[in-house]
Structure 1
Amino acid sequence: MNKNEIVKKASSALGKVNIKLRKHSPELLIAAGVVGTVVSTVLACKATTKLSTILDESKGNIETIHKCENDKEMEERYSQEDAKKDLAIVYIQTGVKIAKLYAPAVVLGTISIAGIVASNNILRKRNVALAAAYATVDKSFKEYRSRVVERFGDDVDKELRYNIKAKKIEEMIKDPESGKEKKSKTTVNVAAPTVDDYARFFDKTCRHYEENMNYDLMLLRSQQQLANDKLVADGFLFLSDVYDMLGITRTKMSQSVGWIYKPDGNSNGDNFVDFGVMVVKRETEDGGYEDAILMNFNVDGPILDLI
């Protein structure tokens, strides 16, 4: 292996190490800051045990100065001005000794706090960058969907987004004339079991779900109106708030996205809450199909910076 190859590999290794250090710099800084804070506290406690010696020495010097100042025999040789100068010197020396005593703890504590603050700043900048990137992607996706709707219609957009497929299934229906049940083939829209980050099925996993389609639809309409009232009253509404109203478990995403209301119009969204309720079929574990309610919330996107 020649010198150039060694230098090249060493440079590559250092570059990877540098990238990893930058990647994990917030964790490293916060860990160093916490450790440094603990160590600075220990140093301060150790310094405090030596403080009494400095204070006793200072107290003894001050008492000696006052004693000489009040001694009538030394009045001509040691004036009040001399006493004031000596007291000032004692105070300054005591202050310097105390500063030196606590200097290591103070310096280490300051560096530790600076490390914690720097870690927070790095994370804040990264979060701002992520939010900006997400907003760009969200805007592009909405523009793409609007073009799909414009060209192919809203139904095609929903079918593509939620992987809704028209399938022919066999159902047992009751003949109105004979009253007997018979098999009948029906074309229905079947939704995929998985949906996007915002959309959810209103089903048994939701706390307020009832096995009555008409009741569930009525509940969703009333909760949607309540959500709109809350949006107008507060000026903002998080998706988590809507999830809570419907008995749906919160997600990390739902705690940062939602709706913004502006009386003069909202350029970031629709200015109202729409659950986007769709009645579809969903495949069951036994291979059959059941009625399901799919909700596609028209969130504006991340709203933390818009409130």
Structure 2
Amino acid sequence: MNKSNISKVLSSVRTSMAKHSPEILTGIGIAGMITTTVMAVRATPKALILIEERKEEIGAEELEVADVVKTTWLCYIPAAITGTLSIACLIGASSVNAKRNAALATAYTLSESALKDYQGKVVEMFGEKKHETVKDAVAKDKIEKNPVVTREVIITEKGNTLCYDAISGRYFKGDIDKIKKAECELNRQMRDEMYVSLNDFYYEVGLDNIKIGDELGWNIDNGYINLSFSSQLAGDGTPCLVIDYSIAPRYDFSELM
């Protein structure tokens, strides 16, 4: 293998390790804590022997706590070092994750700001009617890319109209009035509690939670939930109500206060 190939391999390894550093550090930390426990257990018999030898040396039946520590502390140094390094790895993993989350929140905020500026300029230059036409075209593209014929339709007790949620990509049966009522109820809740999650909205419209639904949401400082509706035809010809969000849920919704 020539130097160029070796350099590429090393670069690839470094990139992969940097990308997965939280998982690597967490794994090392957990393994280290287990090793610490094992080492401490193995050191105990030797420590007990030293205690007995010390008792015989000074002619005492029991040792003071301070004397026990002085007699046995060397036995536990390896375990203490391993435990300290393990804790450092776990703290490092947490720090890396915190920095990545902060960067993600910043990138999201910048993207959201750019989108708002773009939408505002579309309305300014072409008018509200043209803006609605663009939104309808986007909604049409979404259901064409995710046809109902290949997707399960979730039956809820909230209505009989075919609906499509733009974030989770789920088709479900609902009712526009009940969905608007859920929107109003959550906005009222937001006035009292300052924020609500995306899963709170899904619960109100009869949908199950999704994994990121507790990490995304709305904060009153960023504006109320403002749903956008577009009437389309699904792939099988069924009228379909596409639900989108004029104010998108964000990752740091619970930390804006």
Give the TM-score normalised by the residue count of structure 2. Answer: 0.78
Aligned residue type for 1:16: S
Q: Give yes or no for the alignment of 1:205 onto 2:154.
A: yes
2:232/2:242 contact within 8 Å kept: no
Partner in structure 2 of residue 29 of structure 1: 25
Partner in structure 1 of residue 9 of structure 2: 13
Provide structure 1 residue ranges, at least 5 long, that are not aligned to the other structure: 66-86, 166-189, 197-202
Partner in structure 2 of residue 199 of structure 1: none
1:244/1:250 contact within 8 Å kept: yes
Q: Give yes or no for the alignment of 1:256 onto 2:218.
A: no
Question: Which structure: larger Rg?
Answer: 1
1:290 is aligned, of 223, 238, 251, to: 238
Distance apart, 1:111 and its partner CA: 0.5
Distance apart, 1:162 and its partner CA: 4.6
Provide structure 2 residue ranges, at least 5 long, that are not aligned to the other structure: 147-151, 163-173
2:158/2:178 contact within 8 Å kept: no
2:245 is paired with a residue of what secondary structure?
Answer: coil
- Provide the C-alpha distance between the structure 2 equivalents of 1:30 and 1:133, rounded to a whole number of angstroms: 26
2:144/2:234 contact within 8 Å kept: no
- Provide the C-alpha distance between the structure 2 equivalents of 1:233 and 1:104, rounded to a whole number of angstroms: 53
Check 1:250–1:64 CA distance in 2 against 1; reply closer, same or farther (3 A cut).
Answer: closer
2:137 is paired with a residue of what secondary structure?
Answer: coil
Partner in structure 2 of residue 241 of structure 1: 200
1:131 is aligned, of 105, 116, 120, to: 105
- Provide the C-alpha distance between the structure 2 equivalents of 1:111 and 1:22, rounded to a whole number of angstroms: 19
Check 1:205–1:34 CA distance in 2 against 1; reply closer, same or farther (3 A cut).
Answer: same
Partner in structure 1 of residue 168 of structure 2: none
1:162/1:195 contact within 8 Å kept: no
Q: Give yes or no for the alignment of 1:144 onto 2:118.
A: yes
Distance apart, 1:300 and its partner CA: 5.2
Q: Give yes or no for the alignment of 1:277 onto 2:239.
A: no
Per-residue CA distance 1:68-126 (angstroms, 9 max, x = gap)? xxxxxxxxxxxxxxxxxxx99xx65x534411111111110111111111111111111
- Provide the C-alpha distance between the structure 1 equivalents of 2:82 and 2:205, rounded to a whole number of angstroms: 51
Higher normalized helix content (fraction of residues): 2
- Provide the C-alpha distance between the structure 1 equivalents of 2:155 and 2:109, rounded to a whole number of angstroms: 29
Partner in structure 2 of residue 113 of structure 1: 87
RMSD: 3.3
Question: After TM superposition, what 4+ stretches of structure 1 lie above 6 angstroms from structure 2?
Answer: none
Q: Give yes or no for the alignment of 1:56 onto 2:52.
A: yes
Aligned residue type for 1:273: I
Give the TM-score normalised by the residue count of structure 1. Answer: 0.67
- Provide the C-alpha distance between the structure 1 equivalents of 2:81 and 2:183, rounded to a whole number of angstroms: 57
1:216 is aligned, of 175, 181, 184, to: 175
1:273 is paired with a residue of what secondary structure?
Answer: coil
- Identity among equivalent positions (%) equals 24
